[in-house]
Amino acid sequence: MRITQEAKEKTRKSILEAAEILFAKQGFEKTTTRDISASCGIAKGTLFNYFKSKETLAMTLVAQAMESGRKMFERRRTGKEILVEELFLFIASELRALKTFRTYIGPVLASGMSIFSKESICPEGEEARRNHLKTIGKILANHGFEIEYNSIVITLYWSLYLGILAHWSKDKTPKQSETLALIDYSMHTFANTISSNTVVPEAFICNE
């Protein structure tokens, strides 16, 4: 039983690896599940035992990358960031980890992380969203905002975040520098809104 489990895990991993390479090489749209199964030497039917669809497969890859982006954020975080900075650091780290998926993240998220319904049909996507928002919740709590997962504040954040992703996936500026500016504006807007300008955070840049 143990061996089967291990073998299963191994196959799953090789499918993911093959998919990542093919997506990067020939694009997400052009890659078929047949290509992927052929590339790792399994029957097409076998692939479906692991992943329901090409979209689920891609969503799993994206979710993994988001996870490593979160770890990168934890590593880079100094604990001295003000709210905007910390939010910025999180999103920027995540996008860095997602870089290889940039050009096709749109269709993946559209199907994997349903934008229009609160509950996603794809469990991988739903989990990725939950994990992302959990981190946001933690960051907010670090700065004195205790906020429910279902609150409108989180919905506001999520709309801004999706906007950033959408922009990023189409950003033609060198090194997606426009997205950096957009993350910053969005997070300033967000922080300003939830604090209604009433909190007095420490100055992050001040000449006096």
Partner 1 sequence: MNSLTESILSRVQTRKIPSSSFVRTWTLGSSHAKIAARYFSYAIQKHFVEDEKKKDLYSHFQLQSALQLLGTMGYLRGAIMKIGQLIANLPQIMPGELIEIFESLQFEAPPMHYSLIREVFLDELGRDPEEIFASFEKNAFAAASLGQVHRAKLHNGKEVAVKVQYPNIAETIEADIKILSVLLQTMRFKKDFQYLGAHVQDAKSVFLNEVDYLSEAAFMEKNRKIFTDSKIVVPRLYPEFTTTRVLTMEYLPGKHLQSFLATNPPLSRRNHFAELISYSFVHSWFSLRTVYADLHPGNFVLMQDGRLGFIDFGCYRQFDVERWKLQVDGELAMFQDDRDALKFYLTRLAMRETSADLDPEWVDLFMRQLRWVIAPVLKTGPFDFSRTEYVKQGADLLMESVRQGHVRIDPFYNWSNRALLGHRSLMYRLRCKFDYSSLYLTEMKQFT
**Which residues in 174-203 contact partner 1 (CB under 8 A)?**
175, 177-178, 180-181, 184-185, 188, 192, 197-203
Give 26-34's long-range contacts (Cβ < 8 A, gap of 24+): 27/103, 27/104, 28/54, 28/58, 28/103, 28/104, 28/107, 28/108, 29/104, 29/107, 33/57
Residues 126-165 that bind partner 1 (CB under 8 A): none
Q: Is there binding between residue 75 and partner 1 (CB under 8 A)? A: no
E strands, 70-201, where?
A: none
Q: Strand, helix or coil at 115?
A: coil
Q: Which of the residues 96 through 125 are near partner 1 (CB under 8 A)?
A: 96
- Asked if residues 116 and 52 have their Cβ atoms less than 8 Å apart, the reply is no
Give yes or no for residue 88 binding partner 1 (CB under 8 A).
yes
Amino acid at 208: E
CA angle 160/165/167 to nearest 5° reads 95
- Contact region with partner 1 (CB under 8 A), list: 30-38, 88-96, 100-108, 137-145: 88-96
Q: Can you tell me which of 36, 59, 89, 109 binds partner 1, judged by CB under 8 A? A: 89
Q: How far is the CB of 138 from partner 1 (least distance, A)?
A: 16
Among 55, 81, 124, 126, the residue binding partner 1 under the rule CB under 8 A is 81
Please, which residue, 55 or 81, has the CB nearer to partner 1?
81
CA distance to 24, 25, 91, 133, 144, per residue, from 137 (Å): 33, 36, 13, 6, 10
When asked if residue 86 is in the footprint of partner 1 (CB under 8 A), the reply is: yes
- In whole angstroms, how far apart are CA 21 and each of 12, 95, 100? 15, 19, 10
Shortest separation between residue 176's beta carbon and partner 1, angstroms = 9
Distance CA 199, CA 192 (A): 9
Smallest separation (angstroms) from partner 1 to the CB of 7: 39
Among 34, 76, 134, 138, binds partner 1 (CB under 8 A): 76
Helix 123-142, helix 152-170: angle, nearest 10: 110
Report in angstroms how near the CB of residue 115 gets to partner 1 at its nearest: 26
> Taking CB under 8 A as the rule, does residue 42 contact partner 1?
no
Which residues form the interface with partner 1 (CB under 8 A)?
76, 81-82, 84-86, 88-89, 92, 96, 173, 175, 177-178, 180-181, 184-185, 188, 192, 197-207
